[in-house]
Amino acid sequence: MDPVVKVENVNKSFGDNHVLRNFSLELEPGENLVILGKSGSGKSVLIKCIINLMPADTGKIIVLDQSIQDMDQEELDILRAKVGFLFQSNALYDSMTVRENLEFPLRRHWSKEERERGSEMAVLEALEDVGLAHTIDMMPAELSGGMRKRIALARTLILKPTIILYDEPTTGLDPVTAREISNLMIEVQKKYNASSIIISHDMNCINITSNRVIMLIEGRCYANDTFNNLKKSTDPKIREFFA
């Protein structure tokens, strides 16, 4: 099977700041791929390039067999329904209930008839996937940080994405809650057979969730291996992350 995401020789600069230098990666179907790199190394820029929120300067980006750089706005909208993005901030609407937050992506991507027929079921299924069906009428402010992260994940799952992009999914959570979220990410991978790119610094999260890890150093793919192999590496640049 073809990779679901192919990034080929991508360059991205801001003035003299060359953030991505001939960077390439492939995400295989059903795989959880972690991007590990220091703060400011370009992990978020890479993810933004993949969904064309930010255009790459040069290079090719193929998502689900389509070149995203050649897509018009309508084609991008259709593609974005298949690519879920879990923001570090969760990006929940505080003035909306949990139900309304989950309905939000349906308003954009489903017709009125589809929503009338399927919205209630879809909201409930996504909430059950994250173990929070009972919060359906609550406001985000009434929920803990871990619960808000689960609701944000439910909102990502509601469109049944083929690819999920996680931006630091456990940052700001206590270790126990962080482990719960990491385990939930594995359940999601199994249930939806989704492929994920996960940006994380959290070694426990990476250990639990990753099938493979790419280290982004000085704009390049410095290492590409399993967590366990990287952990055994004697390379000082790799060891820094495991210290």
Ligand X SMILES: Nc1ncnc2c1ncn2[C@@H]1O[C@H](COP(=O)(O)OP(=O)(O)OP(=O)(O)O)[C@@H](O)[C@H]1O
The residue whose two tokens read 């209930």 is 97
**Residue span 77-116 as binding mask against ligand X, x where in contact by CB under 6 A, dash where not:** ----------------------------------------
Q: How far is the CB of 220 from ligand X (least distance, A)?
A: 13
Selected binder of ligand X within 36, 45, 61, 102 (CB under 6 A) = 45
Selected binder of ligand X within 3, 28, 30, 44 (CB under 6 A) = 44
Task: Please give the Cα distance from 58 to 8 (Å, whole number).
Answer: 9
Q: Residue 19, interface with ligand X (CB under 6 A)?
A: yes
Give the β-pairing of 195-199 and 212-217: unpaired
**Comparison of 171 and 177: residue with beta carbon closer to ligand X:** 171
Element counts in the chain: helices (H) and strands (E) = 9, 10
Handedness of CA 176, 182, 185, 190 (dihedral sign): negative
Q: Residue 14, interface with ligand X (CB under 6 A)?
A: yes
**Comparison of 44 and 177: residue with beta carbon closer to ligand X:** 44
Task: Please give the Cα distance from 40 to 1 (Å, whole number).
Answer: 33
Distances (CA, A) of 24 to 59, 64, 183, 221, 234: 9, 16, 28, 7, 24
CB count in 10 Å sphere of residue 42: 24
Q: Residue 219, interface with ligand X (CB under 6 A)?
A: no
Instruction: Please list every residue from 20 through 39 that binds ligand X, using CB under 6 A.
Output: 37, 39
Selected binder of ligand X within 29, 40, 118, 175 (CB under 6 A) = 40
Selected binder of ligand X within 7, 33, 43, 83 (CB under 6 A) = 43
Q: How far is the CB of 46 from ligand X (least distance, A)?
A: 7
Token reading at 24: 């390439």
Contacts with ligand X by CB under 6 A lie at 14, 17, 19, 37, 39-45
